[in-house]
Amino acid sequence: MMKKLFQTFRSMRFGILLLVLIAALSVIGTAIPQGREISWYAQTYRDFHGLILMLKLHDVFHSWYFQLLLVLLGLNLTLCSLVRIRTVIKARGLETDLLLEQPITYPLDAARCTRVREKLLAMRCREEMAGDSVQVYRKYGFGRYGSFITHLSILLTLIFGAAALYLPKVTDQTCFPGEALNMEDGTQIRVESFRIEDGEGNLDFTSEISIRLPDGRESGVHEIKVNHPLSFGAWKVYQQTYSTAGSITVWNLETGLEDTFTLTDLVFLSLDHVNGLWYEALYPDMIRDPSGNVTLISNVSGSYPNPVYQVETASDGVYTPILAFPGDELQVGGLRFTFEDPVEYPGLRIKYTPKAASTLLVISFVLMIAGLYITFFCQPVLVRLDSEGYTVGGPKPEGMQIAIQGWLEETDRKEETL
């Protein structure tokens, strides 16, 4: 039972099945935006959002079944690598024994055998004595390790890829245009601008951001959109959410000083903490019926078409609710308040991946390319040479046979010319 289980776990068929399943889940994870609010999936996928949430397709890369597939693939690759390296080590002696059992394929006289030896040494073949008068020459002896290196590189890619997937620190932050976020390591992420709609009124959700690393390197200004993040250094910044904030300019009538406040929460703007303006909320629009009653609209998609400020003035204990619009002014408690156009701002998902994980992942890819090159272009070749002639062995002996025969023919032509 254990032997069959071991053979199943190390079989190529099982490994391919795991790769297909992982690839299929990766496609799903790419097609369905990951990590959004549950309400977003309920609104976007009205007919089958329940299935998405039940199967964790909204966070597929952190689901238990995806992680289980990665562990099984790692086990499969580890067993395959161990079996292959053991086979490769044993194969070295078997290759020599099989070559020595073969008869001489190309009989030559002693002088030409000497020339072949000189040619093989010039080709940097390794010379080994296999008897009193028999030599074995090896070319690309390391080629037998190509398959092992390829399997090992896939295993390392899986390990370092998992590290790059699960080790990053992810934070969600908001930032107003013209301001910057200062990260723990000194990196500065600056939002230059943000828009909800393009010039034609179509939903766009685009931020222009720049990243400055602690060592002074700068990314320059780049646009990011949903599913089109900016990667720079160890940082990756996604356009995640958006919102709109109120903007009120406050002028001190006594000193003449003024300042503009960007407001997202309930706040009291005052000099004496008694008289002033309560900012309560900002609404996208309102509807006024024929009788004069007002209904505030709380939800819209896109920019606010007709923004309405809901505020309340406090003056000597008298509180007066007011609806204000951009451009309106109020004066209370020695302050003058001017209502500005709302400020649209993005919610950013910021991911930091340790440099070591990214570097090791690149190294594993390079190792994979090297393993594939060795496997297909550096097949080991063995040549048995004695006083009667030579024999070529190995997985693909044709190239070496052609090289030796061509060199001998060229040497013969030169001698005839002389």
Which of 357, 384, 401 is the last residue before a domain boundary?
357
Helix or strand or coil: residue 171? strand
161-177 tens-digit pLDDT: 888 888 888 899 999 99
CA atoms within 13 A on the CB side of 260: 10
Q: Do 258 and 337 lie in a common domain?
A: yes
* Distant-in-sequence, close-in-space partners of 152: CB < 8 Å, separation ≥ 6: 77, 81, 367, 371
Asked if residues 34 and 28 have their Cβ atoms less than 8 Å apart, the reply is: no
| CA-to-CA dists, residue 104 to 91, 100, 189, 392, 406, angstroms | 22, 9, 72, 9, 18
For residues 185, 193, 228, 346, the Cα torsion angle rounded to the nearest 10 degrees is 80
Q: Examine the pLDDT at 130 and tell me if it is beyond 90.
A: no
Angle, CA of 136, 375 and 102, to the nearest 5°:
30
| CA-to-CA dists, residue 313 to 239, 270, 333, angstroms | 37, 10, 9
Q: Do 325 and 208 lie in a common domain?
A: no
- Report the predicted TM-score, pTM, of the whole model to 2 decimal places: 0.61
Q: Do 299 and 186 lie in a common domain?
A: no
pLDDT of residue 3: 73
pLDDT of residue 74: 86
Q: Examine the pLDDT at 139 and tell me if it is beyond 90.
A: no
Q: Do 234 and 263 lie in a common domain?
A: no
335-374 tens-digit pLDDT: 999 999 999 999 999 999 888 888 898 999 999 999 999 9
Q: How many domains does the chain have?
A: 2
Residue numbers of the domain that contains 228 = 164-243+346-357
Q: Examine the pLDDT at 418 and tell me if it is beyond 60.
A: no
Asked if residues 100 and 130 have their Cβ atoms less than 8 Å apart, the reply is: yes
Lowest mean per-residue pLDDT among 61-70, 142-151, 192-201: 142-151
Asked if residues 106 and 389 have their Cβ atoms less than 8 Å apart, the reply is: yes
Is residue 286 one of the residues assigned to a domain? yes
Taking the C-alpha atoms of residue 18 and residue 48, their distance in angstroms, rounded to an integer, is 26
Helix or strand or coil: residue 118? helix
Q: Do 230 and 311 lie in a common domain?
A: no
| CA-to-CA dists, residue 322 to 251, 261, 269, 299, 304, angstroms | 19, 19, 15, 20, 19
Q: Do 270 and 332 lie in a common domain?
A: yes
